[in-house]
Amino acid sequence: MGGIETLLLELCKAMKTGSRYDPAVCVFEAKGKLQKEFDAIGVPVHVLQKKRSRDYFLPLRVRKLIRQEGYDLVHAHNQVSWLYGGLGAMLAKRALVYTEHTSLDKFEPSQQKNLKRILRLLGRKTQLVTTVAKHLIPSLLQDLGIPSERIRNIYNGIEPAPYQIEIDREEKLRELGLPSASRIIGIVASLTDAKDHATLLRAFAQVLPIVPEARLLIVGEGPLEESMRSLMHALEIDSNVHFLGVRRDIPELLQLFDVFTLSSLIEGLPISLLEAMASACPVVATRIPGVDELVNQESGILVPHSSPDEQAEALVRVLTEDGLAESLGSGGRRRVLEKFSFDTMIQAYLSCYDEVLGPS
């Protein structure tokens, strides 16, 4: 469960309540932690289990599903889904829309080469391609040969109301087993290479001597959890770091955080960062493409990636400098309200569907 999955849930909710579209979801792994929430809004979730390596028959299974259920349009999210789902849509002769959430840089060079070759061909049959951030557009133009007239940039948006809440801080700290004097640094991100939790842990080890009451809350799960726990032990910061796993009380946790941080190496336009800013939580994040389209100098502090020293310095500043946290938090909320509207995002996606399928 990550940003794309939660975004998809919100998009489905919006389609179910106020559009001519009736959504369903197809995933290539066993049912996950959001299954019940899709069930609750009446959105079917089809599981077509993908083999661990290349699965040459998966597009045929996607085609069969599309034809059986009578779907008119397929919207694929990120490259692997575009590859298999897009081929399935082509075989079923259905309309195809694709959204690029992250760059191909996350793949190994050999994988990139093969993917580019296949996706370049697939791109010719994709009616519209959208990006969640402008920095993703050049690769689509240059590497995949997508004509500019078929590309739309649709920034991720967020409904701010759920994040503008008040909580009983003392009660929430007790629930998590934390001292009442804790200063909370929080991250919400999958434990994967791209998020670079290792740099954050090393930065946090430098924060503790200056702010000994600091606590680091790591929200999310992923394949690197065990190695990150080992690094935590090696840095001897065990008592101040807490792995919370997947949580569905993110709005409450963000109200608890004194500062939200990301140490990512690669991003599209991170939903978790939008959530933090909507919560008026001050932000310290890495200065990478996508993040720098979202965070400006009034809404957060950006630091070089892979630099624990500079991340630690920025975190200490937010925790100790009078008025800085409040100023950045207010600036972040203001920026989300002005530039990253949920309604604008939803209407842009629905307009893409209308453009591809034509009037009802």
User: Residues 6 or more apart from 273 whose CB is under 8 A from it?
Assistant: 260, 262, 283, 285, 291, 294, 295
Domain ranges of the chain: 3-157+341-357, 161-339
- The rounded percent of the chain whose pLDDT value lies above 90 is 85
Alpha helices (H) along the chain: 3-18, 35-40, 58-69, 79-91, 109-123, 137-142, 169-175, 197-207, 225-235, 250-256, 271-278, 291-294, 308-320, 324-339, 342-357
Average pLDDT of the chain is 94
Residue 334 pLDDT level (bands cut at 50, 70, 90): very high
Top pLDDT among 54 and 134 is at 134
Q: Which two tokens stand for residue 328?
A: 């950045």
Contact 345, 155 (CB under 8 A): yes
Q: How many CB atoms lie within 10 A of CB 209?
A: 10
Residue 1 pLDDT level (bands cut at 50, 70, 90): low
Tens digits of per-residue pLDDT, 46-85? 999 999 888 999 999 999 999 999 999 999 999 999 999 9
Tens digits of per-residue pLDDT, 248-265? 899 999 999 999 999 999
Contact 258, 318 (CB under 8 A): yes
The yes-or-no answer to whether 3-157+341-357 and 161-339 have a common fold is: yes
DSSP states along 26-43: EESSS--TTHHHHHHTT-
| pLDDT tops 70 at residue 31 | no
Residue 109 pLDDT level (bands cut at 50, 70, 90): confident
First to last CA, the chain: 34
Topology of domain 3-157+341-357, CATH: Rossmann fold (3.40.50)
Residue 112 pLDDT level (bands cut at 50, 70, 90): confident
Residue with tokens 């720098």, as numbered in its chain:
292
Tens digits of per-residue pLDDT, 179-225? 999 999 999 999 999 999 999 999 999 999 999 999 999 999 999 99
Tens digits of per-residue pLDDT, 336-356? 999 998 899 999 999 999 999
What would the CATH number be for the domain defined by 161-339?
A: 3.40.50.2000
Q: Is 235 helix (H, G, I), strand (E, B) or coil?
A: helix
